[in-house]
Amino acid sequence: MFESMGTPIAPHPYEKLGVGADWRRRLRRLEHRLQDRLFERDRLRTATAAAMAICGGLAVVYLWFAVIGTINLGRAIAATGAAMGLALVWLLGFWYRARTGPTRVQRHDRERRGF
């Protein structure tokens, strides 16, 4: 071991075990792969939540125009079917979230300003 001003420097714990840089490099790669998988999962959850929100919003907009009489439901069968499909996607997403029990959509580490 090298000495710095007369005192020996303690070896790294991996060096005591005889583990070299190759092992540390593999461990670091494994950590990066795990972080990438977790980040990918977060992106998928965010994209799914955005898709559910868009489907629900479009279904509500179509329903609003149908209620105020702008859209004739009998003449716009294809649009009505598409709106019902969007509403079904939203309802399935809502049912899945209610069944799995998550209470928050926001990230827990979100910064709060002024509250």
107 within some domain: no
What 86-89 contacts at long range (C-beta under 8 Å, 24+ apart), as own/partner pairs, is 86/55, 86/56, 86/58, 86/59, 86/62, 87/55, 87/56, 87/59, 87/63, 89/51, 89/52, 89/55
Total domain count, the chain: 1
pLDDT in tens, 32-70: 777 777 777 778 888 888 899 999 999 999 999 999 988
| CA nearest to 65, candidates 87, 50, 51, 83 | 83
60 is in which domain, residue-wise?
10-100
Q: Note if the pTM is more than 0.85.
A: no
Report whether 92 contacts 52 (CB < 8 A).
no
89 within some domain: yes
